[in-house]
A and B are shown apart, each in its own frame.
Chain A
């Protein structure tokens, strides 16, 4: 019997982590409901019902949940991977944007098939992830600062490049608008992710494709890297204590850079997978895409566990689809408030976990005393 199994079920760190995440979700949802009641009491129950049930209301909506959860999962994996190695990757948004750009570049400009485009997305994200890593390892600049700066640099750079590539824009393919990239159905149907085995299940839902399968495979891959390889062990050692890892002969500088590159690549794939679905076109934005930031709550809810990320991404995507259905009575941003509450609670997750562990063991002791 392994050591872990000797511990009582409710005191295992993984179980406490799941309980804590469920508690965050419940608190977030309750506060969201309170907000709805304050804003519009008459509609509040309907709004809450829309938030919580829309995702399962039809196969089409369920397809949308899966479609949106794929990029979220990749961003969550990216942020979580960096967390495991002691880094806070707030730059997932910029890496996601870069990944989207590289993918679309291969898809539209170079007319390549979807799997090449997806790989290109990984390369784009990795390039954008290497900067925070290099700055942290060699110039001792906090990765949060570098990542924030590169989020903005990435957004402006992509805007600048796209505006000057007539072939990339929708206007280059017969459409009238020049503020977004070309629709893949017109430019290169071969770059659209196939529906694969899911086609039969979801019929002709426009949302569904194999992205969810790809991302789940990536989640498993990341779990294997972190748990079963020497490389993953070294990365985690650097995350726990950089000095101790250095002392043990691990090249911590190299590991910081590599960890950010992998993290960036994961976000980049997220950007690719979202736009290669063919349903969305990249719009030249004035503000940073929120998808990368939503990777943060996904990772936090999963306590950075890659397998947990699958479920937390599905959950976040589920309430986002529900949030869109709350309109027009409530703005769909209500969901962002719920998510913000969850992140806020997760910020003192350690403390919360301590409280939960104490509650659980406290009840046990009482029970024991009563006997």
Chain B
């Protein structure tokens, strides 16, 4: 039972960044902009959030008000992610650039920028920004007495509990409502499906696309921080390809919130199995095979490709994604 609690809590921990970032990608693509720069947005968000946490740790504010400090770090992650996403928006919307190449540039830029900034601030060769311990939510946060030894519920809830998890749940619900129950969401989706038609009824396509890109920047940035706290060993100027995995999650979830939620849990489960495979007795034992975790890490990508074969015929991908909107071509 203990192992079940660990698996569930770890799965949720790793599903949170995937969920946030894939939702971000969904907003961007529904507005008509392909966002392969999610990885870069995660890195930028995580970088500045980690600097913020470190600053709070030094001036004593963090240890005194840990969750308030963490909440500010989340806002910093989202805000810097948004600022960074403006670069994609400017290239893709104003300059009508090739969106995949623009996104590739941002992905190339972000890790390099993170390394250079970390060097500049922490000193030469110190490439890891460590996350302070007080970030994790513990029993003490709620004024509960510590329990002796491991217990199922304690492991399930408090072993890997960070503020990013409840924030992600709230953001998911808000994102769902915004996407499907508001005028804004309908207009946003119209711009991804048929921008000319949207423009003809008075919707500002450029503004809507900027909104989609900015929302994806916010969610991407927060997702970057969520990934970094989930890994736990500090920020090393990369997010381990989670931006690309989130892209797979988004496609797997057919550009819809609830399937994306399911897909992120599914992908996270594979990540956890890859990490814990030696201790999980129910998995098939590949006798004599070394480094089998590579196999489990490979699986989500393979499954995505197989699913794509069967779903591509009735894919729900926004029809106008990747095509720069030109008013003159209406």
Stretch in A50-58, A140-148, A197-205, A230-238 touching the partner: A140-148
Cα A335 to Cα B95 in complex, Å, equals 25
In the assembled complex, which residues on chain A have CB atoms less than 8 Å from the CB atom of B289? 164
Q: CB distance B105 to A343 under 8 Å?
A: yes
In the assembled complex, which residues on chain A have CB atoms less than 8 Å from the CB atom of B105? 340-341, 343-344, 346-347
Interface residues of B in 89-132 (CB under 8 A from A): 91, 95-102, 104-109, 111-113, 115-116, 119-120, 124-125
Stretch in A14-22, A70-78, A325-333 touching the partner: A325-333
Q: CB distance B102 to A344 under 8 Å?
A: yes
Q: With CB as the reference atom, state the residue of chain B lying closest to A346.
A: B101
Q: CB distance A160 to B294 under 8 Å?
A: yes
Stretch in B45-53, B65-73, B205-213, B297-305 touching the partner: B297-305
Stretch in A103-111, A186-194, A285-293, A358-366 touching the partner: A285-293
Q: With CB as the reference atom, state the residue of chain B lying closest to A351.
A: B95
Contact partner, A287, options B96, B241, B248, B292, Cβ 8 Å: B241
Q: CB distance B97 to A160 under 8 Å?
A: no
Q: CB distance A287 to B125 under 8 Å?
A: no
B57 interface contact, C-beta 8 A: no
B87 interface contact, C-beta 8 A: yes
A275 interface contact, C-beta 8 A: no
Residue with the greatest number of chain A CB neighbours at <10 A, chosen from B291, B309, B313: B291
In the assembled complex, which residues on chain A have CB atoms less than 8 Å from the CB atom of B111? 333, 336
In the assembled complex, which residues on chain B have CB atoms less than 8 Å from the CB atom of A333? 111-113, 115-116
Cα A341 to Cα B312 in complex, Å, equals 34
Binary interface profile of A, 305-337, with partner B (CB < 8 Å = 1, else 0)? 000000000000000000000011111011111
A163 interface contact, C-beta 8 A: yes
Q: CB distance B301 to A152 under 8 Å?
A: yes
Contact partner, B104, options A157, A160, A296, Cβ 8 Å: A296
Closest chain-B Cβ to A313's Cβ sits at a distance in Å of 16
A39 interface contact, C-beta 8 A: yes
Q: CB distance B106 to A348 under 8 Å?
A: no
Binary interface profile of A, 142-180, with partner B (CB < 8 Å = 1, else 0)? 001110111111001101100110000000000000000
Q: CB distance B119 to A330 under 8 Å?
A: yes
Q: Name the interface size band of chain B.
A: 35 or more
In the assembled complex, which residues on chain A have CB atoms less than 8 Å from the CB atom of B241? 152, 287-288
In the assembled complex, which residues on chain B have CB atoms less than 8 Å from the CB atom of A247? none
In the assembled complex, which residues on chain A have CB atoms less than 8 Å from the CB atom of B36? 90, 144, 148
B166 interface contact, C-beta 8 A: no
Closest chain-A Cβ to B102's Cβ sits at a distance in Å of 4
Contact partner, A344, options B100, B109, B251, B302, Cβ 8 Å: B109
Known contacts A139-B312, A336-B108, A340-B112; A146/B101 CB under 8 A:
no
Cα A287 to Cα B95 in complex, Å, equals 32
B193 interface contact, C-beta 8 A: no
In the assembled complex, which residues on chain A have CB atoms less than 8 Å from the CB atom of B102? 344, 347-348
Q: CB distance B301 to A331 under 8 Å?
A: no
In the assembled complex, which residues on chain B have CB atoms less than 8 Å from the CB atom of A152? 241, 244-245, 297-298, 301
Known contacts A163-B290, A333-B116; A293/B298 CB under 8 A:
no
B23 interface contact, C-beta 8 A: no
Closest chain-B Cβ to A343's Cβ sits at a distance in Å of 4
Cα A255 to Cα B49 in complex, Å, equals 47
Q: CB distance A337 to B113 under 8 Å?
A: yes
Cα A297 to Cα B104 in complex, Å, equals 10
Q: CB distance B108 to A160 under 8 Å?
A: no
Q: With CB as the reference atom, state the residue of chain B lying closest to A152.
A: B301
In the assembled complex, which residues on chain B have CB atoms less than 8 Å from the CB atom of A218? none
B308 interface contact, C-beta 8 A: yes
Known contacts A139-B308, A152-B244, A163-B290; A348/B97 CB under 8 A:
yes
Known contacts A288-B241, A333-B111; A153/B116 CB under 8 A:
no
Known contacts A141-B308, A164-B290, A288-B241; A39/B101 CB under 8 A:
no
Q: CB distance A163 to B240 under 8 Å?
A: no
Cα A346 to Cα B95 in complex, Å, equals 12
In the assembled complex, which residues on chain A have CB atoms less than 8 Å from the CB atom of B97? 347-348, 351
Q: CB distance A145 to B251 under 8 Å?
A: yes
Q: CB distance B312 to A144 under 8 Å?
A: no
Q: CB distance B301 to A141 under 8 Å?
A: no
Closest chain-A Cβ to B174's Cβ sits at a distance in Å of 28
In the assembled complex, which residues on chain B have CB atoms less than 8 Å from the CB atom of A329? 124
Cα A339 to Cα B106 in complex, Å, equals 11
In the assembled complex, which residues on chain A have CB atoms less than 8 Å from the CB atom of B292? 160
B295 interface contact, C-beta 8 A: yes
Q: CB distance B240 to A286 under 8 Å?
A: yes
Identify the A interface with B (CB < 8 A).
35, 39-40, 88, 90, 131, 135, 139-141, 144-146, 148-153, 156-157, 159-160, 163-164, 284, 286-288, 293, 296-297, 300, 327-331, 333-337, 339-341, 343-344, 346-348, 351
Pick 8 A–B contacts, CB within 8 A, sort by A: A88-B100, A149-B302, A152-B298, A293-B108, A333-B116, A340-B112, A343-B108, A344-B109
Given A288-B241, A330-B116, A336-B111, 17 other A-B residues pairs in contact with their CB atoms under 8 A: A39-B116, A135-B305, A150-B301, A156-B297, A159-B291, A163-B291, A293-B108, A331-B119, A333-B113, A333-B115, A334-B112, A337-B109, A337-B116, A341-B105, A344-B106, A348-B95, A348-B97
